[in-house]
Structures are given as structure tokens and as C-alpha cells.
A = this chain, B = another copy of it.
Amino acid sequence: MEKLIEKIKSANTIAVIPHINADPDTLGSCYAFCEAMRLMGKRAVCYVEEIPQQRFQFIGGEYTLYTGEVDVYDLCASLDCGDMERLGKRAEIFNSAHDTINIDHHVTNTLFAQANYVEGDAAATGQILCEFLPKLGIKINDTIARYLYIAICSDTGCFKFSNVESKTLRYTADLLEYNFDHAEIARLLFDTDSLSVTKFKAELMGSIESYADGKLSVIELSDELYEKYGIPESEVPNVVDIPRRVEGTEIALCFKPKKDGIGVNFRSNSDVDVSKISIKFGGGGHERAAGCTVHEGTMQQVKRAVIDECVRVLENL
């Protein structure tokens, strides 16, 4: 950490880099960091790979779309990126900078910068900044507090996920001492869908199939469904959470046609280790979240085979 502080203090110009397909943790962290750098009298620019999604526009913050030509910076700071690949084309900014730092909370972080501050058990990169910025001598202000709240709130599912620990809530409690509308942020992050996404979800919810006395809940996606509602896939992440929400569900499945086969997403709400099932179909994953792509068979055949296997597992618990 001493090394990070030193590099930051000696830099005048700083390029700040959120990960590709930016989410509110990376954006909030980058904007908070830029604001902090400006408070230290530095010139900081946040370079994005693509314009952030419409639903994240409320976050505000200034970004510059990277188009290929960029001056050499004294320092390049990567925030919330687990590896160089997550920098996308902006690896060029990173590689050309005199100094580089990497602040992140992914356990798999490859420590790709000259100085790395990685806390694998932190719920969000925003949480790491709550600890780090005061060590830089920064006095948090309303703007920074709001960005950090957005980062933490978002990466914890509004404090719902198991990554939340006492520390997470204590840092967030400190942020709430500042002046911003936290309830409005939570509403925009978690209780807002466009009308077309709402109707898309409605159709999926209405089509949930239930097996094994309700212990297995299943949905099927199609390209036509996305087309019907005119929404890109990226706009509705974690579709498998729709069947997962159904009471009594132990395994949730989401089937989706892909170029090279049928994609299957598995979620477990119970002690069933879904990675073991997905491995049988050539996939992998974790105990509670796994996936595979089945290269042979029609949608109906693959569905039948995977559902049968899940029912078999559930009946033999």
C-alpha cells in the first residue's frame, strides 16, 4: 500500500480505467477515485471502453470514450479489474503509462500492475476505497460518498449477498453520514426496469416450468424472445434468477440456444452441488452456480436430458 500511495502522490496526470462492460462497482469506484485525485490537485480522466449502459446513466460522473489516441500518463489506475483482459483496448493506455496501480477485490486478480492492492474478501472495490482514500489523506465529500455507496450497494445486491460482512456495513454507515439520496440509488439500481424488460420478464415468469414437486424450476430463452421485446441480452443479466426466486426451488435452470449448442445455466438454492451436474454435461462451475454448453441434440432433447438428471439428483437426496 505504501508503494501505491507513493505512486499516486508523485503523479500529476492519471488515467483511470474501469473494466469492460462496466458495472456500477467499477464505475462508482473510478468516479470516486477521479474525484479524490482532483481534490489532490491532479488531472484525472476516466477512460471507458464503451458508453456505459443506459440503466447506469443515473450514476453521473465524467468519462471519456477511448478511441485509440491518448497521451502518455504519469499513472494509470485500474479499478475492479481482475486481469489485463478486462482493460480491453485500454491496455494501451495502461502499458504506455509511467506507473501503474491495480485496486481490486477479485480473488483471482493476476496482480498485473507495478503496485497492486487486492483484497479478495472485500464485497466491492468501493469498499476497498472506503479504507484506502482516507489513508491517502483524502477527506471524503458528498460526491465521493455517493459514488462509493453506488459501488458497494450494487456489488452486494443492496446488502443481500453473502459477501456482506460487518465491515461492509460499517463503511457504508460512514458513507450515509454524507448528503445523498441512498434510497433513490437503491431504487434505480434494483427496483427499476424498462417497460420492455418488464414485459420480457413477465413472459418468462409466466412460462416457468416446475418439476420434482417444485424443487426444480426451469425457463427457456430464445432469440425470438429478445427480438420480440427489442432488448439486447446484456440488458437482463442473471435471467436464471427468475426461476430461482420461486418458493421451494432447490435447482433453477435456464436453457438458451447458442451458436454451438444449447447453453444451460444452473443455480442451487440448497445443498445440491450443481457443478457436479453441469460437469456431466461437459460444463463446470461452483456449488451454487454452474453452466455448460451441450453441443449435440435439439433444445427439447437437451432440456429433457438435463431436467431428468436434475430430478434424479433431487429425488435421491
Which A residues fall within an 8 A CB radius of B? 55, 157-162, 164-170, 172-174, 176-177, 181-183, 186-187, 190-195, 198-199, 201-206, 208, 210, 214, 217, 241, 244-248, 269
Contact = CB atoms under 8 A, between A and B. Distances in A.
Contact of A173 (B170, B193, B201): B170
Copies of this chain, complex-wide, total 2
19 contacts: A158-B158, A161-B183, A162-B181, A162-B182, A165-B176, A166-B176, A169-B173, A170-B170, A173-B173, A191-B241, A192-B245, A192-B246, A194-B246, A195-B214, A195-B248, A199-B206, A199-B208, A202-B203, A202-B204
A247 B200 CA distance: 14
Given A173-B170, A173-B173, A195 B160 contact: no
B246 A195 contact: yes
Contact of A192 (B169, B181, B247): B247
A198 B252 CA distance: 14
A213 to B, nearest CB: 11
B205 A199 contact: yes
Nearest to A269: B187
Given A169-B170, A173-B169, A198 B162 contact: no
A160 B206 contact: no
Contacts of A246: 192-195, 198
A191 B244 CA distance: 8
B208 A206 contact: no
Contacts of A241: 191
A163 to B, nearest CB: 8
Given A164-B182, A191-B241, A206-B206, 17 more contacts: A158-B158, A158-B160, A159-B186, A160-B190, A162-B182, A166-B174, A169-B169, A173-B173, A187-B269, A191-B244, A191-B245, A193-B247, A195-B217, A195-B248, A198-B246, A203-B206, A205-B205
B245 A198 contact: yes
Contacts of A203: 202, 206
B160 A194 contact: no
